[in-house]
Each structure stands twice: as structure tokens, then as C-alpha cells.
């Protein structure tokens, strides 16, 4: 499956902006790295490493996801397990909403898929094995303030791990591009 299709789930839509951005940058000038797709010496020499590599590759992204998920799962503003969204939801009575339990297995699975997702989106290996992002969040009634809070937690993790500003901006733009697929409640 094409990288963009994996991210989109169905290959439709317009939210590839953030995803392609890093790639376009990588190949956008005459001194672009070799077309092998590997980030390599030439890439390093021209400072054109994929965002994936500049975030520290697999290890860097795993660290980031570990810090972020812990923060977001503990953040009542995000309400990750959707507690109370199905029960007593004044405006949501008709639609059912799944409660998600942060069991060790569920958290491990979430982290694995999030690492794969971010790797794919930042120019790393295209090995995302989770659900399409829209389907994964369907029926959760996630609101803009909840999404904003999750982004705030990600920013806090990026700061804590001392990720440079340029890389922070690029990653946050990618995450922002998923908002229309995740937020279903105003
Ligand atoms: C308010 C914000 C968010 C909430 C409450 C939320 C909630 C959830 C929950 C409960 C799951 C587990 C679904 C399941 O296992 O069936 C999930 C999965 C996932 N979320 Fe989110 N999410 C939010 C934002 C984000 C963002 C910003 C991203 C990344 C850009 C993201 C990426 C993912 C991925 C990759 C999965 C794994 C899908 C799978 O296992 O198939 N989520 N999310």
C-alpha cells in the first residue's frame, strides 16, 4: 500500500500535507540525497535527513511515544479512555461510545501502533499495522479541546526530550493534519 494510503486508511482526502512535507523537503533541491530512499552520508552532509532520523529513528520515536502516551493517558482534559462520554452524555445519548481501558495490553498495542504511525508519517519505515486513523477514533466523540490537550501533552514531551524547535514544528504539523480525521465533535 502506498505510504499516503496507509496513513489515510483509504487513500482519500487531503490530509497528506503534513506527511508529504518532510519528503518534499528531502528531495526538493539539486543536492537531494540519493534516491535509494535510505537516509545516508549524502543526506547527512546536506542536512537533509528525514524527520524520522532527526527524531532519533525508532528509539527516539519510541521514547517520545512512551512519554507522550503516559502524559496523555493521565491527562483528564484528554479523557483518553472516554469515561463518561457514553454514560450520562446529555447530547450523546443516542450514539454509543466505546470506553477504552488502559490495560497493559491495550497501552502496549496503542504505543506500538502510534510508533509505527509516526514512523510512517515522518519518512521512516512504512509498517503501520493499526486501523486507519479515522476508523480507530470513530464513535469516540473526540472534541477540539480534547485534541488540543493531547497536542499540548505531545508538546510537553517534545520539550522534555529536548527535541529542537524545527523538528517539533514539523512533527506538530503532521499531528495537526490528523485533526479532521480524529475530531468528530464540536
Ligand atoms: C483527544 C485526542 C485523542 C484521543 C482521546 C485518542 C484516543 C484513542 C484511543 C482510545 C485509541 C485506542 C483505540 C483502540 O485500540 O481500539 C486510539 C488509538 C490510536 N490513536 Fe488516538 N486519540 C487521540 C488522538 C490521537 C492523535 C493526535 C494521534 C496521532 C496523530 C492518534 C493516533 C492513534 C493511533 C495510531 C492509534 C492506534 C490505532 C490502532 O490500534 O488500530 N490519536 N486513540
pLDDT digits (tens, 9 = 90+) for 42-98: 445 556 899 999 999 999 999 999 999 999 999 999 999 998 885 444 554 455 556
User: pLDDT, tens digit, for every residue of 150-160?
Assistant: 999 999 999 99
Q: Rounded to whole angstroms, how far apart are CA atoms 50 and 54?
A: 6
CATH number of the structural domain 51-88+99-185:
1.10.490.10
- Give me the residue spans of the domains in the chain: 51-88+99-185
126 DSSP assignment = -
Identify which of 9, 82, 110, 183 to mutate to test ligand 1's pocket (most ligand atoms within 8 A of the CB). 110
Residue 135 CA, ligand 1 centroid: distance in Å: 10
Among 131, 182, 177, 170, CA closest to 6: 131
Identify which of 150, 173, 181, 183 to mutate to test ligand 1's pocket (most ligand atoms within 8 A of the CB). 150
Amino acid at each position: 500500500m502506498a505510504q499516503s494510503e496507509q496513513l489515510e486508511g483509504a487513500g482519500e482526502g487531503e490530509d497528506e500535507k503534513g506527511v508529504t512535507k518532510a519528503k518534499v523537503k528531502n528531495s526538493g533541491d539539486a543536492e537531494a540525497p540519493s534516491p535509494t530512499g535510505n537516509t545516508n552520508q549524502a543526506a547527512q552532509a546536506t542536512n537533509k535527513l528525514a524527520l524520522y532520523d532527526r527524531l532519533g529513528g525508532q528509539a527516539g520515536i519510541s521514547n517520545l511515544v512512551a512519554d507522550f502516551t503516559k502524559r496523555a493517558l493521565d491527562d483528564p482534559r484528554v479523557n483518553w479512555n472516554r469515561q463518561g462520554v457514553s454514560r450520562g452524555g446529555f447530547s450523546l445519548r443516542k450514539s454509543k461510545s466505546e470506553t477504552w481501558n488502559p490495560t497493559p495490553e491495550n497501552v502496549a498495542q496503542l504505543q506500538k501502533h502510534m510508533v509505527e504511525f509516526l514512523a510512517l508519517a515522518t519518512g521512516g519505515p512504512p509498517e503501520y499495522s493499526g486501523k486507519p486513523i479515522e476508523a480507530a477514533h470513530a464513535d469516540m466523540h473526540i472534541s477540539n479541546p480534547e485534541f488540543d490537550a493531547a497536542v499540548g501533552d505531545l508538546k510537553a514531551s517534545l520539550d522534555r526530550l529536548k527535541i529542537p524547535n524545527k523538528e517539533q514544528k514539523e512533527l506538530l504539523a503532521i499531528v495537526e493534519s490528523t485533526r479532521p480525521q480524529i475530531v468528530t465533535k464540536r
